[in-house]
């Protein structure tokens, strides 16, 4: 109490009730390979253009760029990107005179593409003209839908999805190629040439240039020397422990982990996914949107999730993650071609959109909140019977529905614990827990007495009442929706003497209407019906 020593008017500021501030729920982290940028440094981005400036453009077989692009396109507003070190991975390469041409990302996939230099006119079979055209091509004889490698499957599907037809290169030859990209109107291999290719091609990056007009290649020239990248994702993931404000996680390049033979390494992929889930469980603030391997059947993806698909492949079981199947096709805005990607990017965009428009307690699924308008098709059309296998196993389907398009048609976590079946329930509890943790720091070292108990109970109750009024908790009244206990009953002298303050909170979450059953019966007219 202040001792006043002279008469007068004195001002005292009386502390008011402290409010619990809700944490952000839609800031995502994307971890994996990028074209450039700092390694193992979480970098905050607020637009796709910011990503391009910092980390480069679209790159084939490197999924982070596509995921970030889709995240912003589908409703995301802020994310962190962590570039993983490719280790011993190398991009395939070739030279055109003194100009170096590289694949857009490391890996053996680049060993399957070629570059062709022809005249910039219809006289491509004659002597070189000042103007030349560069084409990215692939030998049609190597493209097969029966390919067992991930890169082979992706290329075969790319050719089919974009309706490409094989052409003879040179025009008088007998060997045919699929033309993946065409860039024309060049006269020199200079800085302008490099800038245009590097900013627009998803298959190539130009290194050193000699400033000369490269000779016509005749037959397309293959890229060679590509080496698969090392799995350095765990080190990149660990950097997220120091970042505050994160709530969502995607590691799309887990889907690109392959064996030395180029086949999807499902055991390593599952182990890597569990590493991400373990991080989320440790931090208790992250929710992981999982990308499964590409090209899998319904039965294979169920086996992958349960840990029975490959030797030493662990099961995937956690309330801190959700898996979305199958992959999706999006449009590359630079060249208007369809590209296959894992679904985490557009899915997280819908998470952010739903959080902003409704709340974290709403499932990011259905024909409204789950509508992915930038997705042009799904890699596999699923039937109701297919989803009968997926849903009970905690695998969320991405489906094409008549009149509604491509939508997220599942809202479950990968957990076997029935308390945490639904994504919205787990994310609601993350939101409440982190909001209370951040806003109650002032309580530490305060006097552990009735006044403190009353203040804490009042602040938490006010926060949860607002959440209930928004539709985040179930109940006709606040008393039915939640309870808060912080008094002598759970803080006896024995615990207070050890410095503990216990706050018991119970929430009644709103569950999604996953199964809508319309019950119709035939009404029989009775004798007194008036008919």
Average pLDDT over residues 439-460: 96
Q: What is the DSSP string of 484-525?
A: EE-STTTS-HHHHTTT----EEEE-BPPP---------PPPP
Q: What is the pLDDT of residues 196-230, one digit of tens each?
A: 999 999 999 999 999 999 999 989 999 999 999 99
What sign for the dihedral angle of Cα 371, 376, 382, 387? negative
pLDDT of residue 477: 97
DSSP β-bridge partners for residue 71: none
Q: Where are the domains of the chain?
A: 28-86+229-423, 93-222, 440-526
**Residue partners of 529: CB distance under 8 A and separation at least 6:** none
Q: Is the pLDDT of residue 525 over 80?
A: no
- For residue 170, what are its two tokens? 């040179």
Q: Is the pLDDT of residue 128 over 90?
A: no
pLDDT of residue 11: 83
What sign for the dihedral angle of Cα 274, 276, 279, 281? negative
pLDDT of residue 122: 54
Intra-chain end-to-end CA distance of the chain, in Å: 85
Distance CA 242, CA 385 (A): 44
Residue bearing tokens 């694949």: 103
* Alpha carbon 317 to chain centroid, angstroms: 19
How crowded is residue 188: how many other Cβ atoms within 10 Å of its Cβ?
Answer: 16
% of the chain with per-residue pLDDT over 90 = 88
Q: Is 42 exposed, middle or buried (0-12, 13-18, 19+ CB in 10 A)?
A: buried
- For residue 438, what are its two tokens? 């951040």
Q: Is the pLDDT of residue 106 over 70?
A: yes
Contact 249, 210 (CB under 8 A): no
Q: What is the pLDDT of residues 467-511, one digit of tens each?
A: 999 999 999 999 999 999 999 999 999 999 999 999 999 999 999
Distance CA 299, CA 203 (A): 32
**Residue partners of 415: CB distance under 8 A and separation at least 6:** 317, 318, 319, 394, 421, 426
Q: Is 278 exposed, middle or buried (0-12, 13-18, 19+ CB in 10 A)?
A: middle
Q: What is the pLDDT of residues 396-418, one digit of tens each?
A: 999 999 999 999 999 999 999 99
Q: What is the DSSP string of 188-218?
A: S-SHHHHHHHHHH-SSEEE----SS-PPP-S
Selected from 3.30.56.10, 3.40.50.11780, 3.40.50.261, 1.10.287.610, the CATH number assigned to the domain covering 28-86+229-423 reads 3.40.50.11780
Q: Is the pLDDT of residue 301 over 80?
A: yes
% of the chain with per-residue pLDDT over 70 = 97
Categorize the per-residue pLDDT at 527 as very low, low, confident or very high, splitting at 50, 70 and 90. low
pLDDT of residue 529: 55
Specify the higher pLDDT residue, 529 or 312. 312
Residue 457: helix, strand or coil by DSSP? helix
Helix axes 48-55, 63-73, angle to 10 degrees: 160
- Helix or strand holding residue 321 (H, E): strand 321-325
Q: Is the pLDDT of residue 101 over 90?
A: yes
Q: Is the pLDDT of residue 170 over 90?
A: no
Contact 325, 393 (CB under 8 A): no
pLDDT of residue 18: 79
pLDDT of residue 13: 79
Distance CA 136, CA 335 (A): 13
Q: What is the pLDDT of residues 32-77, one digit of tens each?
A: 999 999 999 999 999 999 999 999 999 999 999 999 999 999 999 9
Contact 148, 232 (CB under 8 A): no
Distance (Å) of CA 77 to CA 28, 352, 357, 360, 513: 9, 8, 13, 15, 28
């Amino acid at each position: 109490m202040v001792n006043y020593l002279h008469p007068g008017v004195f001002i005292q500021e009386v502390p008011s009730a402290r409010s619990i501030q809700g944490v952000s729920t839609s800031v995502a982290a994307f971890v994996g390979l990028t074209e450039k940028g700092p390694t193992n440094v979480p970098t905050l981005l607020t637009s796709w253009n910011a990503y391009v400036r910092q980390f480069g453009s679209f790159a084939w077989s490197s999924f982070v760029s596509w995921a970030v692009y889709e995240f912003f396109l589908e409703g995301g507003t802020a994310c962190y990107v962590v570039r993983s070190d490719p280790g011993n991975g190398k991009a395939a390469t070739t030279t055109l005179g003194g100009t170096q041409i590289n694949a857009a990302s490391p890996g053996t996939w680049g060993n399957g593409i070629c570059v062709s230099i022809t005249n910039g006119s219809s006289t491509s079979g004659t002597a070189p003209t000042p103007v030349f055209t560069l084409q990215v091509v692939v030998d049609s004889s190597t493209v097969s839908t029966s390919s067992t490698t991930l890169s082979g499957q992706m290329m075969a599907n790319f050719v089919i999805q974009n309706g490409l037809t094989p052409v003879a290169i040179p025009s008088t030859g007998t060997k045919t190629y699929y033309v993946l990209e065409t860039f024309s109107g060049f006269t020199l291999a200079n800085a302008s040439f490099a800038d245009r290719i590097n900013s627009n091609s998803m298959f190539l990056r130009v290194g050193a240039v000699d400033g000369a007009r490269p000779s016509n290649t005749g037959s397309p020239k293959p890229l060679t020397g590509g080496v698969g990248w090392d799995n350095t994702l765990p080190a990149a993931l660990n950097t997220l422990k120091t970042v505050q404000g994160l709530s969502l996680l995607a590691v799309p390049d887990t889907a690109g982990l392959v064996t030395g033979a180029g086949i999807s390494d499902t055991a390593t992929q599952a182990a890597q996914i569990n590493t991400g889930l373990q991080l989320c469980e440790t931090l208790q603030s992250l929710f992981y949107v999982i990308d499964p391997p590409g090209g899998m059947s319904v039965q294979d993806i169920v086996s992958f999730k349960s840990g029975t698909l490959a030797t030493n492949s662990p099961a995937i079981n956690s309330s801190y993650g959700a898996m979305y199947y199958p992959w999706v096709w999006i449009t590359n805005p630079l060249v208007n071609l369809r590209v296959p990607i894992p679904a985490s990017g557009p899915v997280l965009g819908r998470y952010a959109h739903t959080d902003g428009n409704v709340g974290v307690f709403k499932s990011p699924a259905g024909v409204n909140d789950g509508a992915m308008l930038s997705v042009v098709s799904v890699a596999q059309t699923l039937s109701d019977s297919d989803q009968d296998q997926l849903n009970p196993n905690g695998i969320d389907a991405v489906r094409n529905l008549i009149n509604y398009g491509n939508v997220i048609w599942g809202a479950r976590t990968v957990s076997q614990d029935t308390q945490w079946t639904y994504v919205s329930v787990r994310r609601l509890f993350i939101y409440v827990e982190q909001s209370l943790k951040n806003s109650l720091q002032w309580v530490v070292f305060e006097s552990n007495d009735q006044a403190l108990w009353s203040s804490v109970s009042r602040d938490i109750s006010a926060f949860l009442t607002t959440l209930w009024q928004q539709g985040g908790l179930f109940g006709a009244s606040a008393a039915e929706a939640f309870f808060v206990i912080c008094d002598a009953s759970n803080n006896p002298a024995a615990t207070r003497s050890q410095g503990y303050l216990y706050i018991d909170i119970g929430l009644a979450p709103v569950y999604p209407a996953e199964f809508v059953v319309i019950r119709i019966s035939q009404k029989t007219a009775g004798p007194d019906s008036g008919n």
